[in-house]
Structure 1
Amino acid sequence: MQVDDMWYVITDGPMKIQTISTATTSTDDTPKMKEKSRYEWTSEDMRKANLDNVAKDILYKTLDKNMFSKIKSCSPVKEIWEKLTQLCEGNDQTEENKLMVATQKFNNIKMCSIETMTEFDERFSIIVIELSTLGTTCSNREVVIKVMRVLPKEWDIKTMAMRKSKDLNKLELHDLFADLKA
């Protein structure tokens, strides 16, 4: 429960310690809430009220001096989290630029003649993972065909045989590279 509470504090801000107000109800017959005075707090209320400080402490301990200097003026942990998200992920324009660059890498990739299949596998997989992280997923068929098209000419016979003998819709990328490496 504490992890859920802490994530709530990070994403929604400090918890408000409230109790049901006996004086009034809302128009839809749900009880109105009022802030609990500190002398009414239970130990669980105190723990929840302190979660903002606990979460801040955890974040502070994970940051280097450079990153800490960029967020030290932020007060609630929600504000710190939003600033860190902006610094690390950027805004919508930054994400759009990252996607454009990753798409260009995917479209322009070619296997170099001096590159081993293992090296190409790693380089290609990094681009596919990057695209996926940015929200663009490619079908198995699209990825497999892309690999087959960007291999050097000496791989043409092998890729033609694979196209005829395998179902490219079901062929996974790791299986393709395993076959090519063999």
Structure 2
Amino acid sequence: MGFVLDGPSIPTSEVKDGEITRVIPKTRQQYSEADRKKIEKGYKANKLLLCGIGAEEFNRISACESAKDIWDCLRTAHEGTEQVKESKIDMLTSQYENFQMKEGKNYS
């Protein structure tokens, strides 16, 4: 699940240029076996998400490139943004606080 939540794994290497160290993406020839496995897991996560959804959902995420992008898009579509979630919580809290038993009703 880490590949879905954390985003794609891009193998990098550190290159020192005097006192400055830069992080640059590795070329495919520089990939280690561990790098290849991480990339493969990312592709598998992508494929599982794509194969596990219907046509309507596929149209929603067809432009996404990584499993994380797909996951974020689906999550927003089904749960809403943080603002929408907070709004729902406020509304439900308000409904709960205003809940009253009707006169003459026995709920036991």
**1:45: which partner in 2?**
35
**How far 1:40 sits from its partner (Å)?**
2.4
Of the three residues 104, 119, 133, the one matched with 2:94 is: 104
In structure 1, the residue corresponding to 2:24 is in which secondary structure? strand
Secondary structure at 1:74 match in 2: coil
Report matched runs for 1:155-174 at 5 Å: none
Task: Tell me the TM-score normalized by structure 2.
Answer: 0.73
SS in 1 for 2:17: strand
Does the 8 Å contact 1:14/1:51 carry over to 2?
no
Q: Name the SS of the counterpart of 2:92 in structure 1.
A: helix
1:24 paired residue among 4, 17, 24? 17
2:11 counterpart letter in structure 1: I
- Rounded to whole Å, the distance in 1 between the matches of 2:64 and 2:94 is 37
Q: Secondary structure at the match of 1:98?
A: helix
Can you list the C-alpha shifts for 1:95-119, whole angstroms capped at 9, x where unaligned? Answer: 2321222012211223462534xxx
RMSD: 2.5
Partner-residue secondary structure (3-state), 2:60: helix
Specify the SS of the correspondent of 1:56: helix
Moved runs in structure 1, 4+ residues, more than 6 A? none
Which residue in 2 is equivalent to 1:88?
A: 78
Q: Secondary structure at the match of 1:110?
A: coil
Q: Report the equivalent of 1:64.
A: 54
Q: Which residue matches 1:79?
A: 69
Greater helix share, 1 or 2? 1
Highest CA radius of gyration, 1 or 2?
1
Question: Structure 1: 5+ residue runs without aligned partners?
Answer: 1-5, 117-182
Does the alignment pair 1:115 with 2:74? no
Counterparts of 1:101 and 1:87, CA distance in 2: 20
Deviation at 1:26, TM superposition (A): 4.4
Unaligned runs of 5+ in 2: none
**Percent same amino acid among aligned pairs?**
24
Following TM superposition, by how much is the alpha carbon of 1:12 offset from its aligned partner in structure 2, in angstroms? 4.0
Q: Higher relative CO (CA 8 A, sep ≥ 6), structure 1 or 2?
A: 2
